[in-house]
Structure 1
Amino acid sequence: MKNIAIIPARSGSKGLPDKNIKMLSGKPLIAWSIEAAISSGVYDEVMVSTDSEKYADIARSFGAKVPFLRSAEASSDTSSSWDAVREVILKYQELGQNFDTFTLLQPTSPLRSADDIKGSFDQMLDKNARTIVSVCETEDSPYTCNTLPESMSMQDFFIEEYKNTRRQDLPKCYRLNGAIYLSKVDEFLKDGDIYASDCYAYIMDGTRSVDIDTDFDFKIAQLLIEEGILG
């Protein structure tokens, strides 16, 4: 089985300029995902999809391949990471390289470990899955969350069954953490539906599930790394 890791690193971050190459504990953000992918030992190719030659040079310096730059169409504000994934797979096929699986490793999840990546592959084999998606336990239970009407009434806020349930006794719930999307190439190219049948979860520890979008998120990740308290 041939496997490719795809790390998307568009240069046009709106919220946090140059987020993908911002220094985190002495390394550019994208380097954390590159090194975890290489260290996992499961990939035949670890590549960065970027529209920037500057980003490409940084990625190569940490061992990633950047055989081509991302197109303008796949780099626009309206394009998704899945547009970039499809472009990467098809361009590699044009170069005569075919893969059985791809893993989308977003650089904004720098605390995802090589063991997490290997664990997702183990889960794929164990479940005979088409797709594995990483999740973590929710910080706040959806059983204590709801929308509010204009009146701000709390009358129907709670599910009656759990109205007086202690927080620790509520059903355990999980959320997508954005760290790992592992899928079979052929199936993805057919319909692009990551969450189709035969999609299974890989559970990660919450401390490794930090998703960097703001400077505050950066500071949290930095603290977890420097204090050595990753789960």
Structure 2
Amino acid sequence: MLYLTAQSFIAIITARSGSKALPNKNIQKVGNRTLIEITAEEALASGIFSEIVFSTDSEEYAEILRPYGVTIDLRPQYLAEDTTPHLDTLRYVLRRYPDHQDYMLLQPTSPFRRAEHMIEAYKLYQTGQFDSVVSFTQVDKPTRLITRLVDDKPVDIYGNDKAYTRQGQEKEYTTNGAIYISSKGNYLKKGSYLDEHCGVYLMNKRDSLDIDDEIDLLLANVLNNQ
């Protein structure tokens, strides 16, 4: 039951089965729950969604979430490749909805994104000031300390040996992959959430943990046990 609005607002959980860096990444466990279960349970707990859609290429993954009452949307294999743009996946998922349909994209690899984060981000979107709302977190390393390697040599890097102090640097932020909100029409027209009409929802470093590999998964389980 929605307690923030009577409007239709859906969650879209996307989870393909072909991850290579961490096989079956989306059904790895943090604690005793798979990543897709954590995401579904938090979305349900938020109370803001009229429907939760689970987009996957895997019948195995679908069976895990069927008991939660989500809408299963099995996508074709060509939309589950390493190189498949999220735009194409969302265009397929949203095919049944009108252009004004608002939605929140929830990727399962953010195990510490909670119901309250979803609620707060949605409240920001409901102000009507933004075409989209995206979650961000502060980065540890400013861009001036990041470089390319050309012939195994750093290019244009400003290092600690050049009187650099972290305290003296302007804060910088990056998307953390936890929350993306927009409408079908806005997103498919722009092909992006990120422009001058994007609202920023800030999350802390712990809650922004994004699982890409075994080290991330190990860290998530350590933090979960604290």
Q: Structure 1-normalised TM-score?
A: 0.86
SS in 1 for 2:179: strand
What are the ranges of 5 or more consecutive residues in structure 2 without an aligned counterpart? Answer: 1-6
Distance in 1, matches of 2:215 and 2:76, equals 31
Alignment-derived partner of residue 48 in structure 1: 54
> Which protein has the bigger strand share?
2
The 5 Å alignment of 1:1-231 reads 1-66=7-72, 68-90=73-95, 92-93=96-97, 100-126=101-127, 128-148=129-149, 150=151, 152=153, 156-158=156-158, 163-227=162-226
Deviation at 1:108, TM superposition (A): 0.7
Residue 158 of structure 1 aligns with an amino acid whose one-letter code is Y
Deviation at 1:99, TM superposition (A): 6.0
SS in 2 for 1:208: coil
What root-mean-square deviation, in Å, do the aligned CA atoms of Structure 1 and Structure 2 show?
2.3
Deviations 1:29-80 (A, max 9, x none): 11111111111111111121011111111012234221x3112221223212
| Identity across matched positions, percent | 35
SS in 1 for 2:22: coil
Deviation at 1:141, TM superposition (A): 2.0
Deviation at 1:216, TM superposition (A): 0.9
Question: Is the Cα contact below 8 Å between 1:4 and 1:99 reproduced in 2?
Answer: no
Count of aligned pairs between the two proteins: 219
Q: Structure 2-normalised TM-score?
A: 0.87
Question: Is the Cα contact below 8 Å between 1:34 and 1:63 reproduced in 2?
Answer: no
> Which protein has the bigger helix share?
1
Distance in 1, matches of 2:129 and 2:180, equals 15
